[in-house]
Amino acid sequence: MNATKERLIGAAKQARKFSQAKYSRFKVGAALLTNDNTIITGCNVESSSYGLTICAERVALTKALSEGYNQFTSITIFAKDGHFISPCGACRQLLFDYAPDIQVIMTDGHEVKEYPLKELLPLAFDDSNMD
């Protein structure tokens, strides 16, 4: 595994530690990599009004956009040692809106599985649908 992937896994694991998951107890961390090799992390933030919960991926993306980053190469997601998790539909859509060419890296804490977002969200709705 290359050094960048090791760094991304470490960052996603670290971000998971800040997860606010008191309702589901399911902690998730994400590490978004920008084109200039900056890592922006996120964790899931849950609400007592469950539908307001924000996934780790969307926290990372909105943090990054709000800090002026808008070119991304990958997002790494970690939830549990030994388990791979895949981003939910809402996260896929928001990532597609801002980073359609991004690679999605799922890690179980040791190994990675990597997919282009376009493969995970075929026939995506985007700006062109509104022309």
Q: Least separation, in Å, of the C-beta of 128 and ligand THU?
A: 26
Residue carrying structure tokens 């998790």: 85
Give the binding site for ligand THU (CB under 6 A).
21, 24, 26, 28, 44, 46, 53, 55-57, 77, 85, 87-88, 91
Closest CB to ligand THU among 92 and 118? 92
Closest CB to ligand THU among 41 and 44? 44
Q: Least separation, in Å, of the C-beta of 17 and ligand THU?
A: 14
Residue 15, CA distances (Å) to 29, 73, 100, 110, 123 in order:
5, 19, 23, 16, 31
By annotation, the residues acting in catalysis are: 57
Positive/negative CA dihedral, 63, 69, 70, 75 = negative
Closest CB to ligand THU among 36 and 120? 120
Answer for the pair 76, 31: CB distance below 8 angstroms, yes or no: yes
Q: Least separation, in Å, of the C-beta of 124 and ligand THU?
A: 17
Alpha-carbon span 79 to 121, nearest angstrom: 21
